[in-house]
Every structure is written in structure tokens, then in C-alpha cells.
A and B are shown apart, each in its own frame.
Chain A
Amino acid sequence: MRYYPPKWIDKFLRWYCNPELIEEIQGDALELYYARLESEGKRIADFKYLIDIIRFCRWSNIKRTNDIYKPNPFEILWNLDLKIAARSIANNKLIFAVKTLGLSVCLGFALLLTAYVVSEITYDQHNVNHERIFRVGSKISFQDDFTKYAVSPLPLGQALVESIPEIESYSRFMYDNRPIYRIDDKIFYDEVSMLVDSSFLEIFSLEFIQGNPKSFNEPNQIILTETLALKMFGGKNAVGETIEYGDEKLLEIVAVIKNPPSNSHLKFQALLSWSTFERNEAWDNLNAYTYIMLKAGVNIETVRGKIINATADFSELIAKEYKASYEPIIENLSDIHFSEKLDEDIAEKRSKLNVFVIIAIALLFFLTGFINYLNLALAELTTSLKKISILKVFGGQNADHRKTMLTDLLLVTVIVFPLTVLLIVVGLILAQSYLSIDIERGVFFSSIFLTTSLSFLALFILSSRVNAYVLSKSNNIVNSIRGKLSVDRSGFPLRKLLVSTQLAFSIIMISLIMVIVDQMNFIEEADKGFDDKNSIVIKMRSANYSQIEVFKEKVKGIAGVQQLDGSSYYPGIVETRYIFQVETENGLKSKLVPTIFCGLDYLDALGIKIESGRGFQAGDNNKEAAGYIINKAAAREFGWDQPLGRTINGPVGANDNTDRTGEVIGVVEDFNFTTLHNKVDPLILFMTNENWGSQFVYLKVNAIHPNNLVSKIESEFKAIWPEFAFEWEYLDSKYASLYKQDYEIKDIFKIGLLISVLVSGFGIFSVSALLVIMRTKEMGIRKIVGANRAQIFLKHMESFFTFFLIALCIGFPIVWYLANQWLDNFAYRIELNFSYYIFPALVALLIVIATSGFHGIKTSLANPVDSLKQE
């Protein structure tokens, strides 16, 4: 019987082996097989046959030669000129590095900006019904002045739903002021909590993790967000547990929801049910954030008039009592983020203009990255132009440029893609920690973002065709074989313009950052009119006047405390305004004025200067003969040349206990109780009494004070209020934190500066590379005719000076415009002078010289024989 080795081994052989070689390989293997069959038996012979076949499986036997056209799925892989690609990389290591790095940086940054823009544009749109949800605010006009509030009267929502059929439902909520939660012995302070009614769950889209309540109507119910639940209960089920609230209440947890996304204007850690607290549900309680949801298909315009009608009664009430007029402000949920900031507005606002600017910047970076890449790729290709042209002339499969293009594309993608992703991740982390800008992970998977990235990719692939096209022009082929190495200059001006734009961008960045740094320094050193150094602020949680007085006495005695007193002021909160009646030529007029009420020694504690009259004395808080202090801005506002002795009544309308009448006893210099963004508003100060307690106590401490000063104060605090948290901070750091957004901008610009300098460097490098190749012959001839190295170097640099000049022309006007725009934010600002233009220009010049100089030096050192011997 004729034995044969197992068929499957042969199948394996036929699969991998180059068909031309199968015959001899199999032949030899079989011959050995039959020899072994004799001497060692079938099993061993089979085994050794298998070993042989396996050992034949090597690349030189697998590789197919190019003449055989085999349409199988691995064709592309076999035909990839990996070797050629690797060779070209090794030859031009620097260009490759700059190419891929530049592209990754640009792409990464552009995509990051895109993600940010997407996250901003889709703000609040995670709410499924966002098109039908509207927030109702209030505009209160008072004589010649008006204030827009984000809140509405408490009964408004219900009234609207009852009278307007097109409104399907409403929801309202209020913020809970500094809640304290307790579980066993763990205390949680300052978790942002909202008191919401039941329809909140229906109108806004919340994702429930634990529990699924149908309604939220019962008192003493609470819903936690994921992070809070984790903090309080670790991983276990929180539903059904109870938490202590403050002193009195026990709240039951009915559900746990996912944290609201970072692009939501509602930020909270806990939701309490509305009915947990009693409150004044009258129309003059203007404190609820009210949202209405329209029925599907209803247009807000049809409803607007009806809303105004429905609130007519309320309007009349206001007009009669306060001599003011009321108008509702209606805005769509997704518009809130970009609309103007209202009083008591909880939403973080951004201007749409900023968003457009960021889109423009992202596009610029994206384009830049590509143009650089293309420039460099073109430069690379030109070095091997001769070889490519010869291949083309020969025709056949080798002439097909596509293989090289494909390999190149593949390699670049393989390197650029992970690098870009890495940069984006790093960018996200940095943004979160330094700029506290949170971009939801979900944004990266949203359709807008994906479409943008894919179009970037498509553009990339298309744009590499540009190079292919440029090269395939028959002029180039013939010229290069002839020996003329230069490439057609088509498309070059566009690239030049883009490089100039990048350079302009760097100039703008440098200049703006100088402006920002200077302005921030100015702010830090500017005289605010009060002394915030060595001042400590302590938050009072109790409104008990006598307790606070006791506390103040005790603390006064602590060594190191110079002066202290309480007040209602806290940097950063929207200043409270009250209505006062002030004396004018036409009798008493009502005015809405920012107010601070404070203790006797408060002005002293803060170092506020009294310009005329006197400070507060005992008795100034009398109802009948109260003493008021105003600032100079107020004196101007009321038209008083002689403010002392003028009559003021107020605050009006709060309630009888708190009304006072009196006269002005002192005038203080204007001090910046808000940030330097705003001019100083008029201000009335009056003294605290039992009806007006202090919310904060300010201490002036000696510069050198004992270490345990704060802990001593804390023990005094705890002695009186053991159940409250002792919260304190330094006034200067609190004040500085008001500029948080501005510091953030500074940081953003710092990073932007780095990136734009990097990118301009890349840009110029790439253009320089191209230029050098184009002008090799020219340089060679110049050298031979007698130019020395320095002259060659300068000649190369000349062309870049045009870039530089164009960049200046583009950059300076933009710097002037943008800087002034930002500085206009501030009522107190620095002025622009020459240094903000000259210094960045010098830096840009440096960049130009450094990057193009590299090629310039290479050219000047090159042997002219090498460039000319092509002819």
C-alpha cells in the first residue's frame, strides 16, 4: 500500500508557500519521507515530515514575486513597500519627526478645542425636552433703573399652568443655604442642595441609578447624586437610609442619580423635596427658579403674550407697593448658557463670541497642521523625485505611486493617531486641574464631534492627493530626469500665507499674554480702598445678635487680634440692594442702592478711610435717629455736594421692625467692594442691631501673630455654637478668587502661547525645507560665482522676512482690537503701549531665524558641486 504523509500538512504547505517553489520543496520532503518510512516507521516519518514543512515556512518561501497577480485579501500587505518607507524615514529622520509631531500637536489641539466647543454648544441639551423647556425670570424696573433677575415669584409657575393651556407643566426650585448633613458622626458641609418640586423629575432628564420614585411630593425626602452617595455610604445601597439635616430634620433617601453632566447649568449634589420646608408662598417672595414646559409643538411666541397677561395682577401689586414695574423674562433652556447674566443667576455664562473665536482658532490649527505636513511631505518627495520619475517612465506596476502613498499614509496614521489621542487625554487632564474646565466624556462620542473628526481625516487623505497631483504633472517628470530638480511652485503662495498667519498668531498670543499678566499684576497691586491683607473672615451661621456680640467680645481679647467687627458683606456675592428714600430737591425719592450693614468697628477693621464726617458710634443703629454712611459715588449719584446731614430713610419695605429714618453722618472714600471689573457703585452703610445681624465677622490681625490664633478663635466659636462648622478664610485670597476666570484665561493663554510658538516653528521649518530644495541650484551657482557663507545664509533668510512683515501687518491690528476688548471688561485697567507690540515682534523674529536658520546653515555649508552636478 502506498503510504502518504497526512493530507493536512500538505494543505498547510500549499497555503503559505509561493507556488513556484512548492514543487521542489514538497519533492525533497517526500523523498526524505519515504527514506524514513523504511528506516523509522510511519509515525516518526509523519512527524519529521511535519517538522520539515514547518521549518520550510519562512519568508523567503512565502514571498510572492511581483509578476504574479494574485487577487487575495493579503495582496496589499505583501505589496506594501515597508522597506522603502522605512528607508525614507531613516534618511530624513528630522523631517519625519517634525511632520508627525506637528500634525499630532495641531490635530490634538484642534480636536480638544472642538470638543470644548461641542460641549458648550450642547449645553443643557442632555435634557430630552430641552426645546420645550423655558426659564422664567423677572425684570424689575425701578424709576430709571432696572434689574433683571433669574428668579420668579413662588406662585408664578402654578398660576401660569392654570391659566395657559399650552403650558404642560412647571417646575420650581430654590437653593438651600449652607446645609449641614449628618450621618452617625460624619458631617458633610456645603454640599450644593436644591429644593425641588416633584415635576422637576419629569421635566429635567435625570438618570436614576438606585431607586425609581414616581413622585417627590412627600416632605423630608432627598435624592443624592452618585458622588455624594459614594461619599456618604461608600458603595452600598443608599435608598431607604436616613440622613440628619441640620438640627431638626431626618431625611429619607429615595433615589440616587448620576451626577449632572458638566455641561448642565444645574449643578447640585442633592435634591430635597419641596414640601420639606414651609415657606412664604406669597407673590412678593421672589426667590424661586421657575421653569415651564410647553406642550409638544407649541411655539413660545404664542404663549409669551399670555404669560404677560397672567402676571398682570402681580405687576399691579408691585407698581402700587414699590412703585416699580414687573416683566417676565422668558428664555429657552439651551439658550441660558449664552444669555446675559442675570441677578442671582446660577448658570455659568459664556459669550457666543468666545465660542466663535475658539472655532476659528481650532480651524486655524487644523489647517496649519495639514499645510505643514503637506509641505514637508512634498519636500521629502522632491528628494526622490528622480527615482519616481524614472519609474513612471518605465510604467508597469512600479510606476503606480499609490503604493508609496498608501504606505506613507498608513505609517503616519499609525503614529499620529495614538499620539493625538495621548495629547487629547493629557490636555483633558490639564484642563480639568488647571482651568477647571470639564469636558464630558460623552462629548467625544457625540455625533457632532465624530463628524468633525472624520471630516478632518477625509481632508487629510484628500490633501495628500494634492502632493500626488503636483508631482504627477508631466513637466515635473521630464524636468527631473533632465536634471532640473525643482518642483512647480503652484500652490506655494497659499502656503506662504498660512505660515504668515501662524506667525501672526504667535505674535498675537505673546502680546496678549503680556497684556494679561500686566493687567493681573495691576489688579493685585491696585489700591482697593480697603486693606485686605492680614484680614480673616469668619462665616456666621447663626443670626442671633446677642450670641454674635458675645463672640466678638471674646475674640477681641485674643492676642494678635487688632480690630474686628461684623458685616453683611462678602466679596463675590451679588451685593444686596435695598430701597432707600433719599433727600433730593424734589423731596424724598426712592432709590435702589447697594447696601452693607455692619458693626461699629467694621470700617476700622478693614481700613476704610473716612473722608468727611465721622464713623459709627453707639446709638447710630437707632430706629428713629439712625446714622448712615455713604460713599462718594453715592454722594455723586444723589447729587449732593454737601452730603452730611442729609436725610435717608430705609431700608424701605422690609418690615416695620427694620425700617429706620436718619441722616448721613459720614462719607467714605470709594472702595472696590466688587472686583475691579466694575466701577464703584453708590453704597449706603448702616449699623447692625438686633434686627440686622452680621453674617460675617472680619478680623484684622497683626502681621506677626501667634500660630494658634485661628484655633483659639475656633474654640471660642465652638464654645457658643458647637453644632456649626467653623469656616474661615483670608480675605485677600478670597478676593483674589473673584478673579478666577481671569486667572484661568491667563493659564489658557500660556498654554496657547506654547502651542502656537511650537506650531509656527513647525510651519516655518516646513516651508524652509521646501524652499531650500527649490533653490539648491540657485544657491550652488551663487557660491561658485563667489558668495561666501554668510551671504548665502542671508539670501535664504530674506524670503522669510516677507513672512515676518506680513505677520506683523496681520497681527498688530488684531492685538490692538482683542486686547482692548478684554481690558474693557475692567473698569480699572492698564493702557497699551509700544512694548506690547515690539517685544512679541522680536520674539517672532527669533522664531523665524531659529527655524529657517537651520536650513540656511545647511545650504551655506553645502558643496555647490553636489547641487550642480545634476546637469
Chain B
Amino acid sequence: MVRKGKYLGEFEELVLLSVATLYDQAYGVTVMQFIIDETGRSVNISAVHEVLKRLERKGYVKSKMGGATNERGGRRKRYFTLTISGRKVLEVEMTLKMQLYNRVPNFSFKLS
């Protein structure tokens, strides 16, 4: 459920979508890489971490530790997965946007 007064920010939505897409591979570095690849934006790892923490606080994702590798000097990663409420908020947001978008008169989808 979207909490009253606490809406999903734009970047938060992006990160949430990345986590949803990456399924069980989502952690700091992969999410960051995904955003850079897909949107072309340059994001910093600390920003991604922060948003992931925030999303967890809001209950849209949950996390657990796991997967130490050599590249990380034996340090484990924190994996993030979508929760049901996270999934719900994504859907609600999307539907809302489409509704509003369809109400704009004389807009075609394609810009020539």
C-alpha cells in the first residue's frame, strides 16, 4: 500500500524496478550497473545504497546477506528482493501514470 503522504520518488522507483528486474541478483553494484546501462544516467554507489536502505525501511524490499567473493576481499554482499507491497506499489504507480497520460488530449505516443 502506498502510505498516505509518502510517495515513491522518481529515483526510488527506478531502483525498485531494477531490483524487481534483477530478481535474486540485486545488490548495490548490480543495481547501479543496471541503471547506468539502461538509462545512461551516472549514479554513485552511495546514492544507490541509500535508496535501497530507504526502500527497505518503507517495506518495499527485503534484504539478506550472502555471497562472499574474492573480488570483495571475502566480504559478503547484501542482496535485495522485492516484497509484495513493493510489487503492489509499482503496479499502482504505473497504472496511475497511464491513466493520467491517457487523459492528455491530442497526444500521440510517438514524437516525430
Q: Does B92 touch A at the CB level, under 8 Å?
A: no
B44 touching A31, Cβ below 8 Å: no
Cβ B27 vs Cβ A28 within 8 A = yes
Instruction: Evaluate contact between B53 and A24: CB separation under 8 angstroms.
Output: no
B91 at the interface (CB under 8 A from A): no
The smallest beta-carbon distance between A37 and chain B, in angstroms, is 10
| Size of interface on B: residues with Cβ below 8 Å to A | 19
Overall SS of chain B's interface: mixed
Interface residue ranges of B36-51 to A (CB < 8 Å): 44-47, 49-50
Give the residues in chain B near A30, CB-CB below 8 Å: 71-73, 75
Q: Is the CB of B50 within 8 A of A28?
A: no
Contact B49 A56 (CB under 8 A): yes
Determine whether A26 belongs to the interface, using a CB cutoff of 8 Å to chain B: yes
In the complex, what's the smallest C-beta–C-beta distance from A641 to chain B, in angstroms? 102
Does B88 sit at the interface, judged by CB under 8 A? Answer: no
Partner of A28, one of B47, B53, B65, B77: B77
Q: Collect the chain B residues with CB atoms within 8 Å of residue A26's CB.
A: 72-73, 75
With a CB–CB cut-off of 8 A, which chain A residues contact B53?
A: 60
Within 8 A of B (CB), among A1-44: 23-32, 34
Q: How far is the CA of A763 from the CA of B75 in the complex (A)?
A: 63
Q: Report how far A60 CA is from B69 CA in the complex, Å.
A: 26
Given A52-B44, A55-B46; A28-B29 close (CB under 8 Å) = yes
A32 pairs with B77, CB closer than 8 A: no
Known contacts A34-B71, A52-B44; A25 and B76 CB within 8 A of each other? no
The interface bits of chain B over 60-79 (1 if a CB of A lies within 8 angstroms of the residue's CB, else 0) are 00000100010111011110
Residue A782 CB within 8 A of the other chain? no
Q: Are A29 and B76 in contact (CB under 8 A)?
A: no
Residue among B29, B45, B73 having the largest count of chain A Cβ atoms under 10 Å: B45
Q: Which of A23, A32, A34, A51 contacts B76 (CB 8 A)?
A: A23
Nearest chain A residue, comparing its CB with the CB of B68: A27
Which B residues lie within 8 Å of A51 (CB)? 44
Q: How far apart are the CA atoms of A32 and B29 in the complex, in Å?
A: 7
Report the minimum CB–CB distance from A22 to chain B (whole Å): 9
- Say yes or no: is B86 at the interface (Cβ < 8 Å to chain A): no
The reply to whether A31 and B71 contact each other, CB–CB distance below 8 Å, is yes
Interface size on A, residues (CB 8 A): 17
Task: Judge whether A58 is part of the interface by a CB distance below 8 angstroms.
Answer: yes
Q: Is the CB of A24 within 8 A of B50?
A: no
Chain B residue numbers with a CB within 8 Å of A24 are 27-28, 49, 65, 75-78
Chain A residues positioned under 8 Å from B46 (CB to CB): 52, 55-56, 58
Cα(A264)–Cα(B45), bound, Å: 72
Q: How far is the CB of B82 from chain A (nearest CB, A)?
A: 19
Known contacts A52-B44, A55-B44; is A27 also within 8 Å of B49 by CB? no
B2 nearest CB across to chain A (Å): 23
Residues of A with C-beta under 8 A to B27:
24, 28
Q: Which residue of B lies closest to A23 (CB)?
A: B75
Name the residue among B47, B49, B53 with the largest chain A CB count within 10 angstroms.
B49
Query: What residues of chain A lie closer than 8 Å to B44, measured between beta carbons?
Result: 51-52, 55
CB-CB < 8 A to B72: which residues of A? 26-28, 30-31
Residues of A within 8 Å of B47, CB to CB, are 55
Chain A residues near B71 (CB-CB < 8 A): 30-31, 34
* Chain A residue contacts of B49, Cβ below 8 A: 24-25, 28, 56
Q: How far is the CA of A27 from the CA of B46 in the complex (A)?
A: 12
How far apart sit A719 and B52, CA to CA, in the bound complex (Å)? 98
A833 vs chain B, min Cβ distance (A): 68
Alpha-carbon distance between A47 and B29 when the two chains are bound, in angstroms:
18
**Closest Cβ neighbor of A33 among chain B residues:** B71
A27 touches B45 (CB 8 A): no
Q: Given the complex, which residues of A lie within 8 Å of B77, measured CB to CB?
A: 24, 27-28
Distance (whole angstroms) from the CB of B111 to the closest CB of chain A: 35
A385 to B49, CA, bound (A): 39
A28/B73 contact (C-beta < 8 A), A52-B44, A56-B49, A58-B50 known = no
Are A32 and B50 in contact (CB-based, < 8 A)?
no
Q: List 5 A-B contacts (CB under 8 A).
A: A26-B72, A26-B75, A28-B77, A31-B29, A55-B44
15 new A-B contacts, CB < 8 A, other than A28-B45, A52-B45, A58-B50, are A23-B65, A23-B75, A24-B27, A24-B28, A26-B75, A27-B72, A27-B73, A27-B76, A28-B27, A28-B29, A28-B77, A31-B29, A51-B44, A56-B49, A58-B46
7 closest residue pairs by CB, A with B: A27-B75, A28-B28, A27-B72, A55-B46, A24-B78, A56-B46, A23-B75
